[in-house]
Structure 1
């Protein structure tokens, strides 16, 4: 099983929010994350879900939030994985490419089935036991229809849409999808007219696909190799420190394991969670101290210490010196306290 808790933020996501008149700082604060997350190209699953939930909480109605953001993305801001779909030969080709390359940006997983006059696309979650925020589900399914409309240049409609959770004003969603919308279903599913899948894309670009597809296929192959648990745990700890001191329960939940299984896997790789937490904090402390624009209190916070004195004691154990003196020796600047 490939373990992946690294989520690429959609290219243009923050620009899309600005186009809607939403301050990105408001979303981040609502998500209770550090403002530096805005410049992070990759986040953890928990952070990804928190950002989407914060966006939902800032909207007056979830249905409006779904439609606004699904239609706000300019094609120029599409990431390569979506560009291969937008420039596909037809709608069927586009949907299959979306499902294939969605693996590069979990946690959403698309299951496509063609039967009779219908094509159903069901959304599931991969690499996490926690379902994503309802608004993320809504935007994902809405964008799949938006992709068909933009690619074909036709006002396509869905046949039926099902959501497992409330999505705000159902009438607003039905007007957008052009079909009945059911709330409280046992799945999240978009049902399209199968005949629409044969519609050619006016945006078809064979030359661009010849460039993008080999690169994406190579990335997909590399990702499907199992990563070491140690590497994954360190990465999640690093990106969770500013929110407090992450515990093994949080990390295990992130990568879809029980605490006991995670402890055993780390032991097999010759380490422990406590050791990785200490090592990551130490590494990050050194990195942040090299940035002379950060004062010591900020560094302490960024690596999960609630007070400066605790950080001083820990750093002295690691380096045998104070953070201020270490900074002077290695950066050559006066201490900033």
Structure 2
């Protein structure tokens, strides 16, 4: 059983409007992406087409950092899709980010995971449908939009503590000026680290009446989408997001699914699988994805797949692939 989410992505009308404001015609982007012009009207694409559109914009704009900053700042709030509009009208920055993390599940291929610890709020970007990372400009614009929502909502020129990207992002100095903090490239993950205290800032754009209309509709849509996926698929998706540096247990995953651990285990039995089997599957799939990235060494891959030491990872990998991680990686490069 392979975990999956819908591979239908709707491009918001504000994207094409933003490009127009930048002097880039929508039909030029479509042609550059080698897609039919009907994509501008239909605006529903699969992951590969979505990546192609963003790569086309990146090629046309030139510098990745410039493309990120220009589109993030020029995008009109009124053009936000409902999932983002709900975050803009949230009670405060924390409420906005929590809503974004929840409703982003409806808008593949990227997802965000937010954690708070000490004085930091860390937001990590992950890919839901594709094992391949998205175009650098898409990665950057996703994190920049989270920053932009906070600035527009609170009315304050908020800054981040640190931003990390796994790929080259062009003019790093321009990005540092935009985010107001150091920006590192070549990192193991894509993440935005905010000042935790900023999350308590109220939103000037808070609109309780609008949220009372949007929230039930978005929650129902998300619930319907999740019901179309089996419990096993949902468990693998959660496990993949929770493996780093540890081994998630059944109680933790059950809580994420809003059910008891006994109910989860019963549901998995009904699907002829088990939590232990799904954990192994999630680790195996993630290990192969991470090993395909030459920037990650074996020790890092072991950590990212939830193994406390490298030897345990080696033993597990031999069972999965009848080979060592190093040999497997070399064979893939041939």
Structure 2 counterparts to residues 293-332 of structure 1, below 5 A: none
**SS of structure 1 residue aligned to 2:164:** strand
Are the aligned partners of 1:2 and 1:225 in contact in 2 as well (CA < 8 Å)? no
Indicate whether 1:56 and 2:58 are aligned: yes
Q: Deviation digits for residues 167-208 of structure 1, max 9, x if unmatched? A: 110000000000000010000000000000000000000000
Separation in 2, partners of 1:58, 1:41: 19
Q: Deviation digits for residues 130-167 of structure 1, max 9, x if unmatched? A: 21111000000011000000000000000000000011
Are the aligned partners of 1:2 and 1:224 in contact in 2 as well (CA < 8 Å)? no
Structure 2 counterparts to residues 189-228 of structure 1, below 5 A: 189-226=191-228
Separation in 2, partners of 1:11, 1:157: 28
Separation in 1, partners of 2:5, 2:57: 27
Are the aligned partners of 1:31 and 1:54 in contact in 2 as well (CA < 8 Å)? yes
Indicate whether 1:38 and 2:2 are aligned: no
Separation in 2, partners of 1:2, 1:26: 32
**SS of structure 1 residue aligned to 2:204:** coil
Structure 2 length-normalised TM: 0.67
Shift of 1:3: 3.0
Separation in 2, partners of 1:124, 1:67: 21
Shift of 1:227: 6.6
User: Which of structure 1's runs of 4+ aligned residues deviate more than 2 A?
Assistant: 225-228
Separation in 1, partners of 2:4, 2:184: 34
Q: Deviation digits for residues 10-44 of structure 1, max 9, x if unmatched? A: 23110110011111111111111111111113111
**SS of structure 2 residue aligned to 1:12:** helix
Q: Give the total of aligned pairs.
A: 229
Corresponding residue for residue 299 of structure 1: none
Structure 1 length-normalised TM: 0.66
5+ long unaligned stretches in structure 2: 231-284, 286-334
**SS of structure 2 residue aligned to 1:113:** strand
Corresponding residue for residue 145 of structure 1: 147
Are the aligned partners of 2:112 and 2:124 in contact in 1 as well (CA < 8 Å)? yes
Are the aligned partners of 2:14 and 2:75 in contact in 1 as well (CA < 8 Å)? yes
Structure with higher Rg: it is 1
Separation in 2, partners of 1:2, 1:191: 28
Separation in 2, partners of 1:150, 1:192: 15
Taking only aligned residues, the RMSD between alpha carbons, in angstroms, comes to: 1.4
5+ long unaligned stretches in structure 1: 229-256, 258-337
